[in-house]
Amino acid sequence: MSFRDSVMRRFALSEDGYRYLCRSSAACILKDIALMVPVMVLFVFVCDMMGGEGNPYDLDLGWWAYAAMVAASAVLIAATYFVEYNETYFNTYRESSAKRIALAERLRKLPMSYFGKKDPTDLTVRIMGDCTMQEQSMSHWFPELIGSMICIAVLGVMILVFDPVMGAASLWPVPVSFAIVFLSKRFQDRYNRYKFDRTLEATEGVQEFLETSRDLGVNDAGRRYLDGLFGKLDRVESAEFRAEYMVAVFVVSAQLVLKFGIVTTALAGGYMMLSGNLDIFVFIAFLIVISRLYDPLNNSLINLAAMINAEYNMERLQEIEDQPVQTGSTDFHPDGYDIVFDHVRFSYDGRADVLRDVSFTAKQGEVTAIVGPSGEGKTTAAKLAARFWDLNGGSITVGGTDISGIDPETLLSCYSIVFQDVTLFNTTVMDNIRIGRRGATDEEVMDVARLAQCDGFVSRLPDGYMTVIGENGAKLSGGERQRISIARALLKDAPIILLDEATASLDTECETQVQQAISELVRDKTVLVVAHRMRTIEGADRVVVLRDGVVEEQGSPRDLVAEGGTFANMVRLQSQSDGWSL
């Protein structure tokens, strides 16, 4: 791996980000060199003031010369600071913006299995918190650290060449101080991971409390939950304190070692002057240079500790970049829209199979229902048909084309999906439905809304179809949210329909009306229905019964009832439960 690739990976940078980092580091080097110019002017001035015979540095300059040098130094420093600010901050913000967009694009292309392993809070923290840490690293810490280290290295070589003994007496604390901070890496890694885990735990707790506060209040569990949440926040505070304290121990110790450099410089210089091996002017030069050198070194040690501290955040960003994305051809022209499951095998964790050997065909122009006991993979099978995940074995084809070779977004353009877990956005009713087909007119949106029985509740909203419905439709009931999802599917009008208890949250009267709308939606299309209520699939053409990861039965509802197997038993049990009353 090249140096460039190593840096890009270590700090989760794009190619532009690496280029920005090089430019900002170069700008910091120029700034640090410019800051050494006043030191040179000061040395010349001191030597000039001392005068005397045998002074090789007595230039006998007038006040106007020093005024000119001070003015030139000020202009040079101002110019380098301006360049550094532009190269460091502006470019960092460009990279930070591009990084967040790139992460969102990467997440968009990842298989759904990845999101099953990651908490949404964790992903939010990565895009916002970890990117912010990267932003601070690239704007405040890393370029400054690189600039200081290179200037120190150049200056150190010059000092050692000029006078090896005085150079060694002045510079020995530098590698020792940096080594002390480097030693903190192992401890920082451990404490930072613990701190981050506690922070994420508390963040999830706060989010969960906000989402479930109504249920907690109903069950008189709010105080008990808050006690647990306060405990999580206390653990975050404790972890933060320990992490900061541990870093401070190493950094302060390293800075303390630096102070001894001034002492050894003074002692070595004094001894060499008394022995006649050092000129007083060289001694003064060393004292001035060292006083200027150690001040930025203190900041460099802090920056180094901060960069070590940020490594875990960079690893988390890079972990997303390393995830394999779902890819495929965008050229998708199937021969019809029959969906064929051929010996499909799938597991979420790579060990326990949810589906072991599933084979069936959902034909175009027919309604195919997937039924079975809870937890037998019905919804999983429906989502696999849309390539939400990739298979562990077997194949799924649409119109004779294996969907594993089709780009997911291209494939999903042929699907209208209504799942039981409805996802809505914090925007208007109109915009939530229009997601089904970008560019649809208001009239087209309202037409499908009427078919989905949305008109009634929308008319009662403050601004009708222009009412903002809150995060995930928080201002609506479950049935109202589901009807918007159905309207969205009606508007898309795709050739393949996936329904997962699409009417489960509706009352009987509204369910009948919506089912009539769905009947229009599914005409001449491939329909795959996940059903728990037998009433939902009375008009199905074919029923597939999943049990123990395989297809136990399949056929028409009438034939399966006549066979008296699992499906017949499910129909009988549900008929009995329908007659139950208090």
Please list, in sequence order, all residues whose beta carbon lies within 8 angstroms of the beta carbon of residue 189, skipping any fewer than 6 positions away: 311, 312
Please report which confidence band the pLDDT of residue 385 belongs to, taking 50, 70 and 90 as the band edges: very high
Query: In the chain, what are the domains?
Result: 3-322 (1.20.1560.10)
Higher pLDDT, 458 or 111: 458
DSSP-derived secondary structure for 33-78: HHHHHHHHHHHHHHHHHH--TT-TT-----HHHHHHHHHHHHHHHH
Higher pLDDT, 182 or 505: 182
544-567 average pLDDT score: 88
What percent of the residues of the chain are helix, what percent strand, and what percent coil, each to the nearest 5? 65, 10, 25
Q: What is the pLDDT of residue 517?
A: 64
Six token digits for residue 203? 């963040």
Distance CA 512, CA 518 (A): 10
Q: What is the pLDDT of residue 508?
A: 65
Q: What is the pLDDT of residue 516?
A: 67
30 has a pLDDT exceeding 50: yes
The residue type at 459: S
Nearest to 256 by CA among 286, 309, 297: 297
Give helix 280-322 / helix 15-50 axis angle, nearest 10°: 170
Would you say 564 and 554 are in contact if contact means Cβ atoms under 8 Å apart?
A: no
- Looking at 279-358, list the stretches that DSSP marks H as alpha helix, in order from N- to C-terminal side: 280-322
* Measured CA angle at 366 (ends 363, 369), to 5 deg: 90
Q: What number of other Cβ atoms are within 10 A of residue 237's Cβ?
A: 12
Distance CA 378, CA 528 (A): 10
55 has a pLDDT exceeding 60: no
521 has a pLDDT exceeding 80: no
Which residue shows structure tokens 């930072």?
192
Distance CA 305, CA 294 (A): 17
Nearest to 81 by CA among 24, 133, 146: 24
Higher pLDDT, 61 or 188: 188
Q: What is the pLDDT of residue 184?
A: 84
Overall size of the chain counted in residues: 582
Distance CA 538, CA 532 (A): 12
72-76 average pLDDT score: 89
Nearest to 402 by CA among 448, 461, 343: 343
Six token digits for residue 43? 């040395």
3-state secondary structure of 544: strand
Q: What number of other Cβ atoms are within 10 A of residue 182's Cβ?
A: 14
Tell me how many helices (H) and strands (E) the chain has: 22, 10
196-201 average pLDDT score: 84
Please list, in sequence order, all residues whose beta carbon lies within 8 angstroms of the beta carbon of residue 433, skipping any fewer than 6 positions away: 445, 448, 449, 454, 484, 487, 488, 491
Please list, in sequence order, all residues whose beta carbon lies within 8 angstroms of the beta carbon of residue 253, skipping any fewer than 6 positions away: 180
293-310 average pLDDT score: 81
By the 10 Å C-beta count (0-12 exposed, 13-18 middle, 19+ buried), 88 is classed as buried
Please report which confidence band the pLDDT of residue 582 belongs to, taking 50, 70 and 90 as the band edges: very low
DSSP-derived secondary structure for 462-514: TTGGG-B--GGGTTS-HHHHHHHHHHHHHHH--SEEEEESTTTTS-HHHHHHH
Q: Which residues pair with 528 in a beta bridge?
A: 368, 498
Q: What CA–CA distances, in Å, run from 539 to 189, 301, 420, 542?
A: 60, 73, 20, 9
Which residue shows structure tokens 């999580």?
232
Six token digits for residue 386? 């849309």
Task: For residue range 110-165, list pLDDT tens digits in order.
Answer: 877 677 677 777 888 888 888 888 888 888 888 888 888 887 888 788 788 888 88
What is the dihedral angle through the alpha carbons of 512, 517, 522, 524, rounded to the nearest 10 degrees?
A: 120
Please report which confidence band the pLDDT of residue 94 belongs to, taking 50, 70 and 90 as the band edges: confident
Higher pLDDT, 397 or 516: 397
Q: How far apart are the first and last CA of the chain?
A: 71
44 has a pLDDT exceeding 50: yes
Six token digits for residue 433? 């439905």
Please report which confidence band the pLDDT of residue 409 belongs to, taking 50, 70 and 90 as the band edges: confident
446-454 average pLDDT score: 86
Q: Which of 12-26, 152-166, 369-383, 429-443 has the highest mean pLDDT?
A: 429-443
Q: What is the pLDDT of residue 395?
A: 93
Task: For residue range 324-335, list pLDDT tens digits in order.
Answer: 888 888 888 898
90-99 average pLDDT score: 84
Would you say 469 and 462 are in contact if contact means Cβ atoms under 8 Å apart?
A: no
Would you say 34 and 44 are in contact if contact means Cβ atoms under 8 Å apart?
A: no
By the 10 Å C-beta count (0-12 exposed, 13-18 middle, 19+ buried), 360 is classed as buried
Please list, in sequence order, all residues whose beta carbon lies within 8 angstroms of the beta carbon of residue 389, skipping any fewer than 6 positions away: 111, 112, 113, 346, 348, 380, 383
275-302 average pLDDT score: 77
Would you say 311 and 128 are in contact if contact means Cβ atoms under 8 Å apart?
A: no
Q: Comparing 42-46, 395-399, 502-506, which segment has the lowest mean pLDDT?
A: 502-506
Would you say 404 and 395 are in contact if contact means Cβ atoms under 8 Å apart?
A: yes
Q: What is the pLDDT of residue 430?
A: 93
Please report which confidence band the pLDDT of residue 428 belongs to, taking 50, 70 and 90 as the band edges: very high
The chain-wide mean pLDDT, for the chain, equals: 83
Distance CA 128, CA 308 (A): 20
